[in-house]
Structure 1
Amino acid sequence: MRPPPPAFAVTAADQALLDALPGLAFQAMLVFARLGAAVMLLPGLGEAELPAPLRLGLGLALVALLFPAVAPVLPAAPDDTAAALQMVVGEVVVGLWLGGLARVAMLAFAMAGQLVAVLVGLASLLVADPALGQGGTALSRAFALLAAVLVLATGLHGVALRAMVESYAVLPAGDPFPAGAAAAAVARAGADSVALALRLAAPFVVGAVALNVALGLLARLAPQVQTFFVAVPGQILAGLALLGLLAPPMILAFEAALRDTLSNLPGLR
Protein backbone atom coordinates (compact mmCIF):
# COMPACT_ATOMS: atom_id res chain seq x y z
CA MET A 1 0.00 0.00 0.00
CA ARG A 2 1.42 3.37 -1.07
CA PRO A 3 1.97 5.92 1.83
CA PRO A 4 -0.20 9.05 1.75
CA PRO A 5 1.35 12.17 0.17
CA PRO A 6 2.63 14.86 2.54
CA ALA A 7 0.19 17.57 3.56
CA PHE A 8 2.39 20.22 1.99
CA ALA A 9 5.69 20.45 0.21
CA VAL A 10 8.35 22.99 1.16
CA THR A 11 9.72 24.65 -1.93
CA ALA A 12 13.20 26.13 -2.22
CA ALA A 13 11.81 29.66 -1.97
CA ASP A 14 9.90 28.77 1.19
CA GLN A 15 12.99 27.22 2.72
CA ALA A 16 15.05 30.30 1.87
CA LEU A 17 12.46 32.51 3.56
CA LEU A 18 12.42 30.33 6.66
CA ASP A 19 16.22 30.47 6.82
CA ALA A 20 16.15 34.27 6.52
CA LEU A 21 13.51 34.82 9.22
CA PRO A 22 15.94 34.93 12.21
CA GLY A 23 18.04 37.57 10.46
CA LEU A 24 14.98 39.61 9.51
CA ALA A 25 13.68 39.41 13.07
CA PHE A 26 16.99 40.72 14.40
CA GLN A 27 16.99 43.58 11.90
CA ALA A 28 13.39 44.45 12.83
CA MET A 29 14.49 44.49 16.48
CA LEU A 30 17.26 46.95 15.60
CA VAL A 31 14.78 49.24 13.84
CA PHE A 32 12.36 49.06 16.76
CA ALA A 33 15.16 49.80 19.23
CA ARG A 34 15.95 53.09 17.46
CA LEU A 35 12.48 54.18 16.38
CA GLY A 36 10.71 52.96 19.51
CA ALA A 37 13.11 54.82 21.77
CA ALA A 38 12.81 57.97 19.66
CA VAL A 39 8.99 57.86 19.61
CA MET A 40 8.95 58.03 23.40
CA LEU A 41 10.45 61.55 23.13
CA LEU A 42 9.52 62.97 19.73
CA PRO A 43 7.39 66.13 19.72
CA GLY A 44 3.70 65.45 19.27
CA LEU A 45 4.12 61.67 19.32
CA GLY A 46 5.96 61.21 22.59
CA GLU A 47 3.89 63.45 24.84
CA ALA A 48 3.48 62.31 28.43
CA GLU A 49 -0.30 62.58 28.04
CA LEU A 50 -0.26 59.62 25.65
CA PRO A 51 -0.30 56.26 27.46
CA ALA A 52 2.90 54.27 27.19
CA PRO A 53 1.15 51.29 25.49
CA LEU A 54 -0.11 53.64 22.79
CA ARG A 55 3.37 54.99 22.16
CA LEU A 56 4.71 51.43 22.13
CA GLY A 57 2.09 50.46 19.56
CA LEU A 58 3.02 53.48 17.48
CA GLY A 59 6.64 52.38 17.56
CA LEU A 60 5.69 48.90 16.34
CA ALA A 61 3.55 50.40 13.56
CA LEU A 62 6.48 52.56 12.46
CA VAL A 63 8.70 49.47 12.29
CA ALA A 64 6.23 47.73 9.98
CA LEU A 65 5.95 50.88 7.87
CA LEU A 66 9.61 51.88 7.63
CA PHE A 67 11.43 48.54 7.79
CA PRO A 68 11.43 48.02 3.98
CA ALA A 69 13.05 51.42 3.51
CA VAL A 70 15.92 50.89 5.95
CA ALA A 71 16.40 47.12 5.62
CA PRO A 72 19.10 47.39 2.88
CA VAL A 73 21.44 49.33 5.19
CA LEU A 74 20.95 47.15 8.27
CA PRO A 75 23.73 44.75 9.34
CA ALA A 76 23.28 41.01 9.46
CA ALA A 77 22.68 39.27 12.75
CA PRO A 78 25.99 38.48 14.50
CA ASP A 79 26.74 35.00 15.76
CA ASP A 80 27.76 36.27 19.20
CA THR A 81 24.89 37.00 21.60
CA ALA A 82 26.89 39.67 23.41
CA ALA A 83 27.57 41.48 20.14
CA ALA A 84 23.87 41.35 19.21
CA LEU A 85 22.88 42.75 22.60
CA GLN A 86 25.47 45.52 22.26
CA MET A 87 24.05 46.49 18.88
CA VAL A 88 20.49 46.65 20.25
CA VAL A 89 21.56 48.78 23.23
CA GLY A 90 23.48 51.07 20.89
CA GLU A 91 20.37 51.58 18.75
CA VAL A 92 18.33 52.43 21.84
CA VAL A 93 20.92 55.05 22.79
CA VAL A 94 20.84 56.53 19.28
CA GLY A 95 17.04 56.70 19.34
CA LEU A 96 16.99 58.38 22.74
CA TRP A 97 19.61 60.86 21.58
CA LEU A 98 17.75 61.79 18.40
CA GLY A 99 14.41 62.03 20.17
CA GLY A 100 16.01 64.01 22.98
CA LEU A 101 17.37 66.61 20.56
CA ALA A 102 13.87 67.19 19.22
CA ARG A 103 12.33 67.20 22.71
CA VAL A 104 14.78 69.80 24.03
CA ALA A 105 13.79 72.13 21.21
CA MET A 106 10.13 71.51 22.04
CA LEU A 107 10.68 72.58 25.66
CA ALA A 108 11.43 76.16 24.60
CA PHE A 109 7.75 77.07 24.42
CA ALA A 110 7.03 75.64 27.88
CA MET A 111 9.99 77.53 29.32
CA ALA A 112 8.74 80.71 27.67
CA GLY A 113 5.36 80.15 29.31
CA GLN A 114 7.07 79.68 32.67
CA LEU A 115 8.93 82.97 32.26
CA VAL A 116 5.76 84.79 31.21
CA ALA A 117 3.89 83.41 34.22
CA VAL A 118 6.60 84.68 36.58
CA LEU A 119 6.74 88.10 34.93
CA VAL A 120 2.99 88.74 34.88
CA GLY A 121 2.36 87.56 38.44
CA LEU A 122 0.90 84.08 37.80
CA ALA A 123 3.79 82.09 39.26
CA SER A 124 1.68 80.93 42.22
CA LEU A 125 -0.67 78.92 39.97
CA LEU A 126 1.29 75.67 40.10
CA VAL A 127 0.33 72.48 38.28
CA ALA A 128 2.07 69.16 37.75
CA ASP A 129 3.97 69.53 34.50
CA PRO A 130 5.69 66.46 32.97
CA ALA A 131 8.14 68.77 31.19
CA LEU A 132 9.07 71.18 33.99
CA GLY A 133 8.22 69.11 37.07
CA GLN A 134 6.19 70.09 40.12
CA GLY A 135 7.25 73.72 39.82
CA GLY A 136 5.44 74.20 36.53
CA THR A 137 2.78 76.86 36.24
CA ALA A 138 -0.62 76.72 34.61
CA LEU A 139 0.60 79.03 31.86
CA SER A 140 3.65 76.89 31.07
CA ARG A 141 1.43 73.82 30.96
CA ALA A 142 -0.90 75.57 28.52
CA PHE A 143 2.10 76.55 26.38
CA ALA A 144 3.37 72.95 26.36
CA LEU A 145 -0.02 71.59 25.26
CA LEU A 146 -0.26 74.29 22.61
CA ALA A 147 3.17 73.33 21.31
CA ALA A 148 2.09 69.67 20.96
CA VAL A 149 -1.07 70.69 19.09
CA LEU A 150 1.00 72.97 16.86
CA VAL A 151 3.42 70.17 15.97
CA LEU A 152 0.64 67.79 14.99
CA ALA A 153 -1.36 70.46 13.14
CA THR A 154 1.58 71.67 11.04
CA GLY A 155 3.00 68.22 10.27
CA LEU A 156 6.29 68.81 12.05
CA HIS A 157 6.11 65.31 13.51
CA GLY A 158 6.59 64.08 9.92
CA VAL A 159 9.84 66.03 9.67
CA ALA A 160 11.07 64.35 12.85
CA LEU A 161 10.11 60.88 11.57
CA ARG A 162 11.90 61.53 8.28
CA ALA A 163 14.98 62.50 10.29
CA MET A 164 14.79 59.14 12.10
CA VAL A 165 14.82 57.27 8.78
CA GLU A 166 17.54 59.42 7.22
CA SER A 167 19.68 59.05 10.36
CA TYR A 168 20.79 55.62 9.17
CA ALA A 169 22.87 57.37 6.52
CA VAL A 170 24.99 59.22 9.10
CA LEU A 171 24.64 56.80 12.03
CA PRO A 172 24.56 53.29 10.55
CA ALA A 173 23.20 50.57 12.80
CA GLY A 174 25.97 48.75 14.61
CA ASP A 175 28.55 51.54 14.36
CA PRO A 176 30.06 52.96 17.57
CA PHE A 177 28.05 55.77 19.11
CA PRO A 178 29.86 59.15 18.82
CA ALA A 179 29.52 60.10 22.48
CA GLY A 180 31.59 63.27 22.29
CA ALA A 181 29.78 64.74 19.30
CA ALA A 182 26.44 63.65 20.77
CA ALA A 183 27.11 65.43 24.06
CA ALA A 184 28.13 68.60 22.20
CA ALA A 185 24.93 68.44 20.12
CA VAL A 186 22.80 68.11 23.26
CA ALA A 187 24.58 71.09 24.83
CA ARG A 188 23.99 73.20 21.72
CA ALA A 189 20.34 72.13 21.59
CA GLY A 190 19.86 73.11 25.23
CA ALA A 191 21.48 76.50 24.72
CA ASP A 192 19.39 77.16 21.61
CA SER A 193 16.21 76.15 23.46
CA VAL A 194 16.90 78.52 26.37
CA ALA A 195 17.80 81.32 23.94
CA LEU A 196 14.53 80.79 22.05
CA ALA A 197 12.54 80.85 25.29
CA LEU A 198 14.19 84.12 26.29
CA ARG A 199 13.47 85.66 22.89
CA LEU A 200 9.82 84.65 23.07
CA ALA A 201 9.46 86.10 26.57
CA ALA A 202 11.53 89.25 25.86
CA PRO A 203 8.51 91.60 25.46
CA PHE A 204 7.25 90.56 28.88
CA VAL A 205 10.67 91.21 30.40
CA VAL A 206 10.62 94.73 28.98
CA GLY A 207 7.05 95.23 30.17
CA ALA A 208 7.84 93.98 33.68
CA VAL A 209 10.87 96.27 33.96
CA ALA A 210 8.85 99.28 32.78
CA LEU A 211 6.02 98.48 35.19
CA ASN A 212 8.33 98.08 38.17
CA VAL A 213 10.14 101.33 37.36
CA ALA A 214 6.79 103.12 37.17
CA LEU A 215 5.69 101.63 40.47
CA GLY A 216 8.96 102.65 42.09
CA LEU A 217 8.48 106.23 40.93
CA LEU A 218 4.88 106.15 42.18
CA ALA A 219 6.03 104.93 45.58
CA ARG A 220 8.55 107.77 45.80
CA LEU A 221 6.17 110.45 44.62
CA ALA A 222 3.12 109.30 46.58
CA PRO A 223 4.23 107.27 49.60
CA GLN A 224 0.70 107.21 50.98
CA VAL A 225 -0.57 105.12 48.03
CA GLN A 226 -0.66 101.37 48.71
CA THR A 227 1.44 100.51 45.69
CA PHE A 228 1.37 96.74 46.24
CA PHE A 229 -2.44 96.48 46.16
CA VAL A 230 -2.53 98.56 42.99
CA ALA A 231 0.35 96.78 41.29
CA VAL A 232 -0.65 93.11 41.63
CA PRO A 233 -4.01 93.17 39.78
CA GLY A 234 -2.70 95.76 37.31
CA GLN A 235 0.34 93.62 36.55
CA ILE A 236 -1.79 90.53 35.91
CA LEU A 237 -4.30 92.36 33.73
CA ALA A 238 -1.60 94.13 31.74
CA GLY A 239 0.33 90.87 31.33
CA LEU A 240 -2.71 88.96 30.09
CA ALA A 241 -3.55 91.78 27.68
CA LEU A 242 0.01 91.74 26.35
CA LEU A 243 -0.12 87.96 26.05
CA GLY A 244 -3.33 88.14 24.04
CA LEU A 245 -1.70 90.68 21.75
CA LEU A 246 1.58 88.81 21.28
CA ALA A 247 0.36 85.20 21.26
CA PRO A 248 0.00 84.89 17.44
CA PRO A 249 3.52 86.16 16.61
CA MET A 250 4.96 84.06 19.46
CA ILE A 251 3.35 80.93 18.01
CA LEU A 252 4.61 81.73 14.52
CA ALA A 253 8.13 82.41 15.79
CA PHE A 254 8.19 79.16 17.76
CA GLU A 255 6.86 77.16 14.80
CA ALA A 256 9.55 78.57 12.51
CA ALA A 257 12.34 77.94 15.03
CA LEU A 258 11.15 74.38 15.74
CA ARG A 259 10.88 73.61 12.03
CA ASP A 260 14.42 74.85 11.51
CA THR A 261 15.67 72.74 14.43
CA LEU A 262 13.94 69.57 13.26
CA SER A 263 15.16 70.15 9.71
CA ASN A 264 18.73 70.18 11.04
CA LEU A 265 18.55 66.90 12.93
CA PRO A 266 21.27 64.38 11.98
CA GLY A 267 20.37 62.89 8.63
CA LEU A 268 18.51 65.92 7.24
CA ARG A 269 21.27 68.53 7.18
Structure 2
Amino acid sequence: MRIDVSLLPALAAAFMLVFARIGAMVMLLPGLGETNIPVRIKLAIALLLTLIILPLHRAAYHIDMQSISSLLVLMVYEIIIGIVLGATARVTLSALQVAGSVIAQQMGLGFVTAVDPTQGQQGLLIGNFLTLLGITLLFATDSHHLVIAALNDSYTIFSPGEVMPSGDVAALATRAFAAAFKIGMQLSAPFLVFGLVFNIGLGVLARLMPQMQVYFVGVPLAILFGFLIFALVLTALMGTFLDYFIGVMHELIPLK
Protein backbone atom coordinates (compact mmCIF):
# COMPACT_ATOMS: atom_id res chain seq x y z
CA MET A 1 0.00 0.00 0.00
CA ARG A 2 1.38 3.37 -1.03
CA ILE A 3 0.24 6.72 0.37
CA ASP A 4 0.73 9.86 -1.68
CA VAL A 5 1.90 12.68 0.60
CA SER A 6 2.92 15.09 -2.13
CA LEU A 7 -0.06 17.33 -1.39
CA LEU A 8 0.90 17.88 2.24
CA PRO A 9 3.32 20.81 1.68
CA ALA A 10 0.73 22.71 -0.38
CA LEU A 11 -1.97 21.91 2.20
CA ALA A 12 0.26 23.14 5.03
CA ALA A 13 1.00 26.35 3.11
CA ALA A 14 -2.74 26.90 2.50
CA PHE A 15 -3.39 26.32 6.21
CA MET A 16 -0.82 28.95 7.19
CA LEU A 17 -2.27 31.46 4.72
CA VAL A 18 -5.80 30.98 6.02
CA PHE A 19 -4.49 31.15 9.58
CA ALA A 20 -2.71 34.44 8.77
CA ARG A 21 -5.98 36.06 7.64
CA ILE A 22 -8.07 34.68 10.52
CA GLY A 23 -5.38 35.24 13.17
CA ALA A 24 -4.91 38.89 12.22
CA MET A 25 -8.67 39.39 12.36
CA VAL A 26 -9.14 37.63 15.72
CA MET A 27 -6.41 39.76 17.32
CA LEU A 28 -8.52 42.88 16.61
CA LEU A 29 -12.07 41.61 17.07
CA PRO A 30 -14.22 43.14 19.84
CA GLY A 31 -14.50 40.74 22.74
CA LEU A 32 -11.81 38.38 21.45
CA GLY A 33 -8.90 40.70 20.71
CA GLU A 34 -8.87 42.45 24.07
CA THR A 35 -5.60 42.85 25.92
CA ASN A 36 -6.83 40.94 28.98
CA ILE A 37 -7.64 37.81 26.93
CA PRO A 38 -4.74 35.30 27.10
CA VAL A 39 -2.84 34.88 23.86
CA ARG A 40 -3.34 31.10 24.00
CA ILE A 41 -7.12 31.60 23.95
CA LYS A 42 -6.84 33.87 20.92
CA LEU A 43 -4.63 31.36 19.12
CA ALA A 44 -7.00 28.51 19.98
CA ILE A 45 -9.95 30.45 18.54
CA ALA A 46 -7.98 31.35 15.42
CA LEU A 47 -6.90 27.73 14.92
CA LEU A 48 -10.47 26.47 15.37
CA LEU A 49 -11.82 28.97 12.83
CA THR A 50 -9.00 28.05 10.43
CA LEU A 51 -9.93 24.37 10.60
CA ILE A 52 -13.52 25.33 9.75
CA ILE A 53 -12.77 27.83 6.96
CA LEU A 54 -9.91 25.95 5.24
CA PRO A 55 -12.00 23.14 3.67
CA LEU A 56 -14.44 25.70 2.28
CA HIS A 57 -11.83 27.81 0.46
CA ARG A 58 -8.88 25.49 -0.07
CA ALA A 59 -9.45 25.53 -3.85
CA ALA A 60 -9.12 29.32 -3.94
CA TYR A 61 -5.40 29.12 -3.12
CA HIS A 62 -3.07 28.44 -6.04
CA ILE A 63 0.26 27.86 -4.36
CA ASP A 64 3.59 27.53 -6.09
CA MET A 65 5.83 25.63 -3.70
CA GLN A 66 8.85 26.39 -5.86
CA SER A 67 8.68 30.14 -5.15
CA ILE A 68 9.18 31.36 -1.58
CA SER A 69 8.74 35.00 -2.57
CA SER A 70 5.22 34.40 -3.92
CA LEU A 71 4.29 32.65 -0.66
CA LEU A 72 5.57 35.60 1.36
CA VAL A 73 3.59 38.03 -0.78
CA LEU A 74 0.46 35.92 -0.27
CA MET A 75 1.13 35.84 3.47
CA VAL A 76 1.40 39.64 3.69
CA TYR A 77 -1.74 39.97 1.57
CA GLU A 78 -3.69 37.67 3.90
CA ILE A 79 -2.47 39.50 7.02
CA ILE A 80 -3.52 42.87 5.57
CA ILE A 81 -7.00 41.53 4.74
CA GLY A 82 -7.37 40.17 8.27
CA ILE A 83 -6.30 43.51 9.74
CA VAL A 84 -8.81 45.38 7.53
CA LEU A 85 -11.68 43.12 8.60
CA GLY A 86 -10.75 43.12 12.29
CA ALA A 87 -10.09 46.85 12.39
CA THR A 88 -13.49 47.55 10.77
CA ALA A 89 -15.24 45.61 13.54
CA ARG A 90 -13.04 47.30 16.16
CA VAL A 91 -13.76 50.80 14.86
CA THR A 92 -17.50 50.20 15.22
CA LEU A 93 -16.95 49.69 18.94
CA SER A 94 -15.14 53.02 19.22
CA ALA A 95 -18.51 54.74 18.62
CA LEU A 96 -19.38 53.85 22.21
CA GLN A 97 -16.18 55.48 23.47
CA VAL A 98 -17.03 58.65 21.53
CA ALA A 99 -20.55 58.65 22.97
CA GLY A 100 -19.25 57.94 26.47
CA SER A 101 -16.77 60.83 26.28
CA VAL A 102 -19.46 63.31 25.24
CA ILE A 103 -21.92 62.02 27.84
CA ALA A 104 -19.32 62.23 30.61
CA GLN A 105 -18.44 65.81 29.67
CA GLN A 106 -22.08 66.90 29.69
CA MET A 107 -22.69 65.22 33.06
CA GLY A 108 -19.63 66.83 34.64
CA LEU A 109 -17.79 63.52 34.92
CA GLY A 110 -15.14 64.22 32.30
CA PHE A 111 -12.42 63.97 34.93
CA VAL A 112 -13.52 60.54 36.23
CA THR A 113 -11.29 57.95 34.56
CA ALA A 114 -10.59 54.29 35.13
CA VAL A 115 -8.63 51.54 33.41
CA ASP A 116 -10.48 50.31 30.35
CA PRO A 117 -10.42 46.49 30.71
CA THR A 118 -10.76 46.04 26.96
CA GLN A 119 -7.72 48.15 26.06
CA GLY A 120 -5.65 48.20 29.26
CA GLN A 121 -5.40 51.98 29.32
CA GLN A 122 -7.12 54.92 30.99
CA GLY A 123 -10.57 55.84 29.71
CA LEU A 124 -13.60 57.80 30.85
CA LEU A 125 -15.81 55.79 33.18
CA ILE A 126 -19.00 56.19 31.13
CA GLY A 127 -17.19 55.18 27.95
CA ASN A 128 -15.74 52.09 29.64
CA PHE A 129 -19.19 51.07 30.84
CA LEU A 130 -20.77 51.50 27.41
CA THR A 131 -17.94 49.56 25.75
CA LEU A 132 -18.31 46.61 28.13
CA LEU A 133 -22.08 46.70 27.72
CA GLY A 134 -21.73 46.80 23.94
CA ILE A 135 -19.42 43.76 23.88
CA THR A 136 -21.79 41.90 26.19
CA LEU A 137 -24.77 42.63 23.94
CA LEU A 138 -22.85 41.53 20.83
CA PHE A 139 -22.36 38.08 22.32
CA ALA A 140 -25.79 37.94 23.99
CA THR A 141 -27.55 38.64 20.68
CA ASP A 142 -25.19 36.37 18.65
CA SER A 143 -24.17 39.36 16.54
CA HIS A 144 -20.58 38.07 16.64
CA HIS A 145 -21.73 35.36 14.21
CA LEU A 146 -21.98 38.11 11.59
CA VAL A 147 -18.25 38.69 11.99
CA ILE A 148 -17.56 35.03 11.23
CA ALA A 149 -19.91 35.23 8.23
CA ALA A 150 -18.05 38.32 7.02
CA LEU A 151 -14.78 36.42 7.39
CA ASN A 152 -16.13 33.56 5.31
CA ASP A 153 -17.48 35.88 2.62
CA SER A 154 -14.25 37.88 2.56
CA TYR A 155 -12.94 35.22 0.15
CA THR A 156 -15.54 36.48 -2.33
CA ILE A 157 -14.53 40.12 -1.91
CA PHE A 158 -10.78 39.57 -1.47
CA SER A 159 -9.89 36.48 -3.45
CA PRO A 160 -6.45 35.01 -2.63
CA GLY A 161 -3.77 36.00 -5.08
CA GLU A 162 -5.67 38.87 -6.68
CA VAL A 163 -4.43 42.46 -6.59
CA MET A 164 -5.75 44.18 -3.49
CA PRO A 165 -8.30 46.93 -4.33
CA SER A 166 -6.52 49.63 -2.33
CA GLY A 167 -9.13 52.21 -3.30
CA ASP A 168 -11.97 50.08 -1.91
CA VAL A 169 -10.02 49.41 1.28
CA ALA A 170 -9.35 53.11 1.77
CA ALA A 171 -13.02 53.91 1.14
CA LEU A 172 -14.05 51.24 3.65
CA ALA A 173 -11.72 52.64 6.29
CA THR A 174 -12.92 56.19 5.68
CA ARG A 175 -16.59 55.18 5.92
CA ALA A 176 -15.94 53.15 9.07
CA PHE A 177 -14.22 56.01 10.92
CA ALA A 178 -16.75 58.60 9.75
CA ALA A 179 -19.71 56.38 10.67
CA ALA A 180 -18.25 55.59 14.11
CA PHE A 181 -17.89 59.29 14.94
CA LYS A 182 -21.34 60.06 13.51
CA ILE A 183 -23.06 57.31 15.49
CA GLY A 184 -21.15 58.29 18.63
CA MET A 185 -22.46 61.84 18.36
CA GLN A 186 -25.99 60.63 17.60
CA LEU A 187 -25.96 58.35 20.66
CA SER A 188 -24.96 61.28 22.86
CA ALA A 189 -27.46 63.73 21.27
CA PRO A 190 -29.89 63.72 24.27
CA PHE A 191 -27.03 64.71 26.55
CA LEU A 192 -25.90 67.49 24.22
CA VAL A 193 -29.42 68.94 24.39
CA PHE A 194 -29.49 68.46 28.16
CA GLY A 195 -26.10 70.13 28.59
CA LEU A 196 -27.10 73.09 26.45
CA VAL A 197 -30.42 73.68 28.25
CA PHE A 198 -28.96 73.05 31.71
CA ASN A 199 -26.02 75.41 31.26
CA ILE A 200 -28.24 78.14 29.81
CA GLY A 201 -30.49 77.73 32.85
CA LEU A 202 -27.52 78.02 35.19
CA GLY A 203 -26.38 81.14 33.38
CA VAL A 204 -29.79 82.76 33.75
CA LEU A 205 -29.89 81.73 37.43
CA ALA A 206 -26.46 83.23 38.02
CA ARG A 207 -27.63 86.54 36.55
CA LEU A 208 -30.83 86.55 38.62
CA MET A 209 -29.14 85.53 41.88
CA PRO A 210 -25.49 86.67 41.80
CA GLN A 211 -25.00 85.76 45.46
CA MET A 212 -25.73 82.06 44.81
CA GLN A 213 -22.78 79.70 44.32
CA VAL A 214 -24.06 78.32 41.02
CA TYR A 215 -21.16 75.89 40.54
CA PHE A 216 -21.78 74.05 43.82
CA VAL A 217 -25.48 73.76 42.98
CA GLY A 218 -25.07 72.96 39.28
CA VAL A 219 -22.55 70.11 39.45
CA PRO A 220 -24.61 67.78 41.71
CA LEU A 221 -27.76 68.57 39.73
CA ALA A 222 -25.98 67.89 36.41
CA ILE A 223 -24.83 64.50 37.68
CA LEU A 224 -28.27 63.65 39.10
CA PHE A 225 -30.27 64.64 36.02
CA GLY A 226 -27.59 63.18 33.77
CA PHE A 227 -27.90 59.74 35.36
CA LEU A 228 -31.70 59.93 35.20
CA ILE A 229 -31.56 60.66 31.47
CA PHE A 230 -28.90 57.97 31.05
CA ALA A 231 -31.19 55.39 32.69
CA LEU A 232 -34.10 56.44 30.45
CA VAL A 233 -32.25 56.34 27.12
CA LEU A 234 -29.80 53.47 27.74
CA THR A 235 -32.03 50.83 26.11
CA ALA A 236 -32.62 52.90 22.98
CA LEU A 237 -28.94 53.91 22.90
CA MET A 238 -27.67 50.32 22.89
CA GLY A 239 -30.37 49.25 20.44
CA THR A 240 -29.18 51.91 18.02
CA PHE A 241 -25.60 50.73 18.43
CA LEU A 242 -26.56 47.11 17.71
CA ASP A 243 -28.39 48.16 14.54
CA TYR A 244 -25.31 50.13 13.49
CA PHE A 245 -22.96 47.19 14.15
CA ILE A 246 -25.20 44.78 12.24
CA GLY A 247 -25.39 47.22 9.33
CA VAL A 248 -21.60 47.50 9.14
CA MET A 249 -21.23 43.72 9.17
CA HIS A 250 -23.82 43.32 6.40
CA GLU A 251 -21.77 45.71 4.27
CA LEU A 252 -18.91 43.21 4.49
CA ILE A 253 -21.15 40.33 3.41
CA PRO A 254 -21.77 40.39 -0.36
CA LEU A 255 -25.28 39.83 -1.62
CA LYS A 256 -25.89 36.31 -2.82
Tell me the TM-score range normalised by the shorter chain. over 0.9
In the other structure, the counterpart of 1:19 is 6
Give 1:131 shift: 6.7
Match of 1:223 among 200, 206, 210: 210
Structure 2 counterpart of 1:85, one-letter code? L
Count of residues paired in the alignment: 256
Q: Provide the secondary structure at the position in 1 that maps to 2:116.
A: coil
1:94-141 residue CA offsets vs partner (Å, 9 max, x unmatched): 100111111111211122112111110111111233777855111111
Quote the Cα distance in structure 2 between the aligned partners of 1:262 and 1:43.
13
Q: Provide the secondary structure at the position in 2 that maps to 1:136.
A: strand
Q: Is the contact between residue 44 and residue 157 of structure 1 (CA under 8 Å) also seen in structure 2?
A: no
Alignment of 1:81-230 (within 5 A): 81-129=68-116, 134=121, 136-230=123-217
Q: Is the contact between residue 40 and residue 99 of structure 1 (CA under 8 Å) also seen in structure 2?
A: yes
Structure 1 counterpart of 2:170, one-letter code? A
1:173-217 residue CA offsets vs partner (Å, 9 max, x unmatched): 122222222112101110000000000000000000000000000
Structure 1 counterpart of 2:59, one-letter code? P
Question: Please, what TM-score do these two structures have when normalized by structure 1?
Answer: 0.90
Quote the Cα distance in structure 2 between the aligned partners of 1:168 and 1:242.
44
Alignment of 1:64-79 (within 5 A): 64-79=51-66
Structure 1: gaps spanning 5 or more residues? 1-9
Question: Please, what TM-score do these two structures have when normalized by structure 2?
Answer: 0.95
Give 1:171 shift: 0.7
Quote the Cα distance in structure 2 between the aligned partners of 1:135 and 1:19.
53
User: What percent identity do the matched residue pairs reach?
Assistant: 35
Q: Provide the secondary structure at the position in 2 that maps to 1:19.
A: coil
Structure 1 counterpart of 2:69, one-letter code? A
Q: Is the contact between residue 26 and residue 42 of structure 2 (CA under 8 Å) also seen in structure 1?
A: yes
1:124-169 residue CA offsets vs partner (Å, 9 max, x unmatched): 1112337778551111111111111111111111101111111111
In the other structure, the counterpart of 1:7 is none
Q: Is the contact between residue 113 and residue 139 of structure 1 (CA under 8 Å) also seen in structure 2?
A: yes
Larger Rg over CA atoms? 1
Q: Is the contact between residue 156 and residue 259 of structure 1 (CA under 8 Å) also seen in structure 2?
A: yes
Q: Is the contact between residue 35 and residue 119 of structure 2 (CA under 8 Å) also seen in structure 1?
A: no
Q: Provide the secondary structure at the position in 2 that maps to 1:63.
A: helix
Give 1:268 shift: 5.5
Quote the Cα distance in structure 2 between the aligned partners of 1:50 and 1:134.
15
Quote the Cα distance in structure 2 between the aligned partners of 1:196 and 1:142.
17
